[in-house]
Structure 1
Amino acid sequence: MADLFQDDPHAAQPEPIREDAPLADRLRPQSLGDIIGQDHLTGPDGGIGRMVAAGKLSSMVLWGPPGTGKTSIARLLADAVGMRYVAISAVFSGVADLKKAFAAAEKAREAGQRTLLFVDEIHRFNRAQQDGFLPFVERGTVTLVGATTENPSFELNAALLSRAQVMILHRLDAEALGSLLNRAEALEGPLPLTAEAREALVASADGDGRFLLNQAETLYNARIPEPLGPAELGSFLQRRVAVYDKDREGHYNLISALHKAVRGSDPQAALYYLARMLTAGEEPLYLARRLVRMAVEDIGLADPNALVQCNAAREAYEFLGSPEGELALAQACLYLATAPKSNAVYKAQKAAWRSAKETGSLMPPMNIVNAPTKLMKDVGYGKGYTYDHDADEGFSGDNYWPDEMEPQTYYQPVERGFERKVRERLAYWDKLRSDRQ
């Protein structure tokens, strides 16, 4: 058999892993049992585990985020059932490569050997190329295993999907990523990180095991003498952001004073600093933009009309020009300075952005995700959704947070201005939600 395929460029040839290979390659799983974080597929009760136990594979599409083990699973599947493994990438391969792979698979089949054809990034093949797989899959010439990070419902032909099972891989959670780091440390030694920095490194991977191992390898190669904390780790692994040019110090001093006078509800001082900047030749539209920023940062929903006033002032200036249009800017400035203040929206935005970065790509609960295709309905998308307009009081009280995440409180309105009414409304909904749960 070895002679039959020695000239086949597609046939995978086992070769020892070099000592200077990347860390991710040296930690490559050697069996399906070594795959981390996908037990729902590779375990004894999983779809892949059952097929391996039976010794017979069906064509399948592995759908999941980057760095979750799609390529490793395909390679190990072939080993587990004694199939010939052929790997191509839709990024680098064309029709000619596919024809060669199919021809070699036909020869192998005649010799009694089955072929697992792994197609990475299968969604990058166009519709016609995807149709080209159909006869070879139907005849059993190849068992197709495709890998994709994109939703197969939208990216793959219905005919191809009907002949393949879709296996959904999960993003790696903190426990799985921690296990990967444990394997790396067993091979290379302890990472030069404090416990807190290690947690930060895991969080930064956003479920991508390959990215995590690449970051760990960077740390090993740097030969850092003392363990890094979270701040030092961030500085080491991330590029610095360019610093603003501060040659015009007076400009920044005055805009800071204007902003703080508005925030401090001193309309006289605010108008003074606005005048200082305009009479010094500051670009009026720059000030209009800063006033809009103040409206959303320091007033927000305490007076939703503040943003309307600032946008209207900008339009008025653009319509009238100087000096008449500057009166509109003065009006907006005074409106902001005399409005009730709240930074609740600003704080909520900061907290939500921070939380989004920390939690990465967590899936929303299945009942509130859309299910436009049959495949998505079959795997549970949209199941159990409650239409709020049909519920008592127009409020279902459902949970809208990812299963792996506790509900958070970002927005906390103050007891001033319009936000007092918002606060009452939120308290009412909280009571309804508590009663119904």
Structure 2
Amino acid sequence: MIVKTFLVKKICGKLPFMTLPLAEQLRPKDFSEVVGQSSLIELLSKIIERGKPLSILLWGPPGCGKTTIARLYAKAFDRPFVPFTGVMNGVADIKKAIQDAKSRPLFAGQPILFVDEIHRLNKAQQDIFLPCIEDGSIILIGATTENPSFTINNALLSRLRVLTLEHLSEEALQQIITRFETSSKKVTLTPDAKKALISLSQGDGRHLLNTLETLPEKEIDRDTLYALAQKKPAAYDRHDDGHFNLISALHKAVRGSDPDAALYYFARMLEGGEDPHYLARRMMRMAVEDIGLADPEALKVTLTAWETYERLGSPEGELALAQALLYLALAPKSNAAYVALKRAQKLAAETSHLDPPKTILNAPTKLMKQKGYGEDYQYDHDLPHAFSGQNYFPKGMERPSFYKPVTRGFEREMEKRLQFFASLRKKLS
């Protein structure tokens, strides 16, 4: 595989410049040409000034410049650059390159191994880098689009400097278009076409260049661009980091009573292909965790919306979920029930050895009656206000207070009831 890779690179090197993909033709030749990552370039420049390369991990979305920065980093230190990809290359290829580096430690300095999509290697496979980073036989540059906290093993992560790249801004994408227009005089875009292209690219420089590469050699207006260009797929994966980030944003927008932000993230998840059933389940959680008894109808509204979706399906049924989402966002909020349960669970775990008072236990047998089960029990329905005020907690336990209603929505009524029963209990004690 190493030989094949070398031959491909050698053949590509002989190809005329204009036969290379546009993204390769316009790839920056030094850090001054890199757009949209000024803070990162400043940090890398300081590392380069010290003259000692560090092993780094470049984490960022597709098309933000990870590969370009890796190449320029290796070039700055004048080290051999050995590229791999977690998709195409296996562990055997990487081991061979590491062995070659160890067998020729003084030849051209430490090689820099670049592993694109490093998260594609499982965590056991990632261990192959540990000893050679430790003994200094190689410098590793990893690149990933996935959150390294979840995809890179801790031992390797602790040996890498994690550098975060951002989506390219509109200004950065405009700079790429300008560079393209400078290199290609036969294709021009109207101002509206440029704005449309930047919008379609969604911060992905590679997608922008791939679109430019398909344009005919003439002036391109906005309508022509839309007819020729493909929309960039939504940056979303139902099983990875983007999924968890967006559902977190959706949940917090509802909790923060912002219906517009809630609808925005709801729409983004649907656009990315999220299962509406998952969204409905999460909305049920919002209803019980963040609204609770401040608006008991919230749970009913959400359940009804879910049932409506199941009967209508997409896309009509999604409107029912959207309506429920708006209801949740604008409902009065309370996590009092959620907090009360947590308090009760904590105390229950600490006092699980205590029995309930015998007064409130059933006595189905003669022996149990002799032992005092059910003795002096008061039937609440037979008493004024249907309230006896008797103790229901284990003997000797100080009476706890778990549920503390907020003064919002229906829980204002719950607070009144609590105070009423507390005053009755005090009179009866």
2:19 is the alignment partner of 1:23: no
**1:90–1:312 distance in 2 versus 1, CA, 3 Å:** closer
After superposition, where does 1:214-233 map in structure 2 within 5 Å?
214-219=210-215, 222-224=216-218, 227-233=219-225
Aligned residue for 1:133, secondary structure, equals helix
CA apart distance, 1:230: 2.6
Moved more, 22-31 or 12-21: 12-21
**1:63–1:313 distance in 2 versus 1, CA, 3 Å:** closer
CA apart distance, 1:309: 9.7
**What is residue 237 of structure 1 aligned with on the other side?**
229
Asked if structure 2 preserves the Cα contact closer than 8 Å seen for 1:8 and 1:104, the reply is no
CA apart distance, 1:103: 1.4
1-structure distance, mates of 2:14, 2:159: 35
2-structure distance, mates of 1:230, 1:64: 30
**What is residue 179 of structure 1 aligned with on the other side?**
175
CA apart distance, 1:128: 1.4
CA apart distance, 1:311: 5.8
CA apart distance, 1:127: 1.4
Aligned residue for 1:117, secondary structure, equals strand
**What is residue 163 of structure 1 aligned with on the other side?**
159
**1:190–1:196 distance in 2 versus 1, CA, 3 Å:** farther
2-structure distance, mates of 1:312, 1:153: 39
Asked if structure 1 preserves the Cα contact closer than 8 Å seen for 2:80 and 2:112, the reply is yes
Structure 1, unmatched stretches of 5+, are 240-303, 318-342, 350-388, 395-437
Cα RMSD (Å) of the superposition? 3.9
**What is residue 31 of structure 2 aligned with on the other side?**
32
Instruction: Give the AA of the match of 2:28.
Output: P
2:104 is the alignment partner of 1:105: no
Residues 184-228 of structure 1: CA distance to partner in whole angstroms, max 9, x if unpaired?
000002644321111010111111111101111111xx234xx44
Paired-residue identity, %? 39
**What is residue 148 of structure 2 aligned with on the other side?**
152
TM-score by length of 1: 0.51
Asked if structure 1 preserves the Cα contact closer than 8 Å seen for 2:186 and 2:217, the reply is no
Segments ≥4 residues shifted beyond 3 Å: 5-17, 304-315, 391-394
1-structure distance, mates of 2:4, 2:40: 35
Aligned residue for 1:126, secondary structure, equals coil
**What is residue 68 of structure 1 aligned with on the other side?**
64
CA apart distance, 1:22: 1.4
CA apart distance, 1:18: 2.6
2:130 is the alignment partner of 1:134: yes
2-structure distance, mates of 1:88, 1:142: 14
2-structure distance, mates of 1:40, 1:393: 46
2:207 is the alignment partner of 1:207: no
CA apart distance, 1:113: 1.2
2-structure distance, mates of 1:94, 1:306: 48
Aligned residue for 1:145, secondary structure, equals strand
Aligned residue for 1:110, secondary structure, equals coil
2-structure distance, mates of 1:113, 1:306: 63
Asked if structure 1 preserves the Cα contact closer than 8 Å seen for 2:181 and 2:188, the reply is no
Asked if structure 2 preserves the Cα contact closer than 8 Å seen for 1:60 and 1:145, the reply is yes
Asked if structure 1 preserves the Cα contact closer than 8 Å seen for 2:126 and 2:153, the reply is yes
Tell which structure's C-alpha radius of gyration is larger: 2
CA apart distance, 1:6: 9.7
Asked if structure 2 preserves the Cα contact closer than 8 Å seen for 1:108 and 1:115, the reply is no
2-structure distance, mates of 1:72, 1:312: 50
Aligned residue for 2:223, secondary structure, equals helix
1-structure distance, mates of 2:204, 2:53: 27
Residues 357-404 of structure 1: CA distance to partner in whole angstroms, max 9, x if unpaired?
xxxxxxxxxxxxxxxxxxxxxxxxxxxxxxxx9x9999xxxxxxxxxx
**What is residue 270 of structure 2 aligned with on the other side?**
none
1-structure distance, mates of 2:305, 2:125: 56
CA apart distance, 1:90: 1.1
Aligned residue for 2:58, secondary structure, equals strand
1-structure distance, mates of 2:308, 2:39: 56
